[in-house]
Chain A
Amino acid sequence: MLLEGLSISCLRHCYGSLMVQAAGLKLVSVGWAKFTGFPSLKASRFRVSCSAKPETVEKVIEIVRKQLALKPETVLTSETEFVELGADSLDTVEIVMTLEEEFDINVEEESSQNITSVQEVADLIEKLVQQKAQGES
């Protein structure tokens, strides 16, 4: 089962009653949902207003490489789509969690549902990092 959306709700649909917090919100305490209950990819793609810094993109690439144990020769650019890399839903949840820890942010389920490429993850992270910085100032 390939990437259905880089989403904490993948964890929800897969791993039983894991208590997951998505930024700021209600506890997403989840049960063993229907096997087919993966969040459906929405038709309209999520557009972020800012574009990620190159360092952010690099960091995302590094984490994805490590998570998927990609061979060094595997090409991984900001355009790379996760489906091409054979990431399964457990991989994507682990990637999101690692990124959250790395950047000290919380990824909201809704915003992560339409992410299909490295660039999109990086853009989302950039946005959340900036929002966090603004919130703290």
Chain B
Amino acid sequence: MPPEKLEIFKSMENWAEENLLALLKPVESCWQPQDFLPDPESEGFYEQVKELRERARELPDDFFVVLVGDMITEEALPTYQTMLNTLDGGIRDETGASLTPWAIWTRAWTAEENRHGDLLNKYLYLSGRVDMKHVEKTIQYLIGSGMDPKTENNPYLGFIYTSFQERATFISHGNTARLAKGHGDMKLAQICGIIASDEKRHETAYTKIVEKLFEIDPDATILALADMMRKKISMPAHLMFDGQDDHLFDNYSAVAQRIGVYTAKDYADILEFLVGRWKVEKLAGLSGEGRKAQDFVCGLPPRIRRLEERAQGRVKQTSTAPFSWVFGRELKL
């Protein structure tokens, strides 16, 4: 990025202090995983665990596979904090305890996210429904692999990526909540729901940053948005591996699509939402390249939807795949 672009983020520090940090929740008013799990210090602990496991028995394998995939994604948090700390323009936390608003945001965001993996991990452990060793192995592999969302140290690209991702997690945790409720597990529905509400707040924060960027530098921002969409928003856990399945991520995604937790339609919907949120259609004063980018981005959601419809309209043969996370049982893809 050229120096004048880097300066933009420096000049946004006051704005970030006033607008971004306000979207963090003070620790004292945050929920903690323990709020949603059996109380280990109480006499009723064993009974609570028993009830949790009874409720979990009613949830099918394919639901658990998706929940596990989501949990593994959350547990790879070190990768995401790293990714934020690759961003130029004064965004990265230079010392690990830097007091710039951006660094404060990144650490506090990480701290909030950390509860998600912890909560899901403990729930899955207690449920007895999944092969924890394989799940844990997958997490170790994933953190080891990292991810490259092609944000190239560029905060324009980086914050567009995180905006998209937060909305995607909001949608998928919302869907697992709905499915859990449908299967009668209200406590799990609550768990997924509370996580989804955090993601929504984070989505608000990241989209706010990008909204400000559109205001300050609409041309660079629309070019960045088109660039990310051309590159495709790759999912953070796309390198997941459990030691056995070379197609683990594809298989997990297929199940997530089939049971309606996260679909291609959601991808199109998220983009459409962001186009609306950032008023992309109304952007003015763009360069020639900027206008092309604007057209591309605005025209993209219907194209994706059409492809999805055409794909769905075809005669399908089903295949299955085994998942180590559920003890090698085969699931429909």
Interface residues of A, Cβ cutoff 8 Å to B: 1, 11-21, 25-27, 29-35, 88, 90, 93-94, 97, 101, 106
Contacts and interface: CB of A to CB of B under 8 A. Distances in A.
B315 interface: yes
A74 B253 CA distance: 40
Task: List 7 tightest A-B contacts by C-beta distance, closest first.
Answer: A31-B253, A17-B257, A31-B250, A29-B254, A32-B235, A35-B234, A21-B314
Given A19-B257, A35-B234, A90-B303, 5 more contacts: A15-B308, A17-B254, A21-B315, A26-B317, A35-B238
Contact of B230 (A1, A17, A20, A30): A1
Contacts of B314: 19-21, 106
Contacts, number: 105
A76 B257 CA distance: 39
B104 interface: no
Contacts of A15: 232, 264, 267, 304, 307-308
A18 B239 CA distance: 19
A13 B231 CA distance: 11
Contacts of B230: 1, 88
B311 A19 contact: yes
A117 B249 CA distance: 32
A11 B311 CA distance: 10
Contacts of A13: 232
Contact of B250 (A11, A19, A30, A88): A30
Contact of A97 (B149, B232, B304, B307): B307
A19 B316 contact: yes
A106 to B, nearest CB: 8
B249 A31 contact: yes
B162 interface: no
Given A31-B250, A93-B307, A94-B307, A19 B232 contact: no
Nearest to B261: A17
B318 to A, nearest CB: 6
Nearest to A37: B238
B234 A32 contact: yes
Interface centre among A19, A26, A106 (most CB of B within 10 A): A19
A27 B317 contact: yes
Contact of B231 (A11, A27, A35): A35
Interface residues of B, number: 39
13 contacts: A11-B311, A15-B267, A15-B307, A16-B262, A18-B311, A21-B311, A25-B317, A27-B317, A30-B250, A31-B254, A32-B234, A34-B238, A90-B303
B316 A21 contact: yes
Contact of A31 (B232, B252, B300, B308): B252
A90 B267 CA distance: 14
A14 B232 contact: yes
A34 B241 CA distance: 12
Interface string B259-302: 00011100100000000000000000000000000000000100
A21 B317 contact: yes
Nearest to A24: B317
A34 to B, nearest CB: 5
Interface string B303-333: 1100110111011111100000000000001
A13 B238 CA distance: 11
A27 B333 contact: yes
B264 A17 contact: yes
A88 B300 CA distance: 13
Contacts of B152: none
A19 B267 CA distance: 14
Nearest to A30: B250
A90 B230 CA distance: 9
Contacts of B303: 90, 94
